[in-house]
């Protein structure tokens, strides 16, 4: 892939990420102390498909599954909104996937900050 295409795709991914994050926040369909964020977007070079990384903080496993199902159900509307806002020739079909990288990082960070058991100074 040429550097120009990489630069173009980086901009496209960031545009889709920003707009989609705004749409998800505006449609906030969950309650309580649950935070849903778009962590990354990887759009195909033909703009036909985009994989969207979703991070969900808080809630139970069943609540997280319900949120992912709700995201999938709202996909057609959001794709229409993205088409209107971004004006691409092709608006990517969105595929939501759970992104657990931040969750894993938090667990590692907590372990690193936990005092070693049995250590005396």
Can you give the CATH number for the domain in which 57 is found?
3.30.300.20
Residue 61's contacts (CB-CB under 8 Å, 6 or more residues apart) are none
Residue pLDDT, tens place only, 15-50: 999 999 999 999 887 777 888 999 999 999 888 999
**Domain tally, the chain:** 1
Residue 85 located in a structural domain:
yes
Full-model pTM: 0.79
CA 64 from centroid of its chain's CA atoms = 13
Residue pLDDT, tens place only, 70-102: 999 999 999 999 999 998 888 899 999 999 876
More confidently predicted of 3 and 61: 61
Residue 60 located in a structural domain:
yes
Q: Which residues pair with 36 in a beta bridge?
A: 56
The pLDDT confidence band at residue 120, using thresholds 50, 70 and 90, is: low
Number of other residues whose CB lies within 10 A of the CB of residue 1: 8
């Amino acid at each position: 892939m040429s550097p120009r295409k990489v630069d173009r795709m980086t901009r496209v991914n960031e545009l889709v990420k920003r707009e989609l994050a705004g749409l998800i926040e505006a449609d906030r369909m969950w309650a309580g102390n649950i935070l849903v964020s778009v962590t990354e977007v990887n759009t195909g070079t033909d703009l036909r498909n985009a994989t969207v990384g979703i991070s969900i903080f808080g809630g139970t496993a069943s609540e997280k599954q319900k949120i992912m199902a709700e995201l999938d159900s709202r996909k057609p509307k959001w794709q229409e909104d993205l088409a209107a806002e971004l004006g691409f020739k092709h608006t990517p079909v969105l595929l939501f996937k759970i992104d657990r990288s931040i969750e894993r990082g938090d667990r590692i960070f907590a372990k690193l900050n936990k005092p070693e058991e049995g250590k005396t100074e």
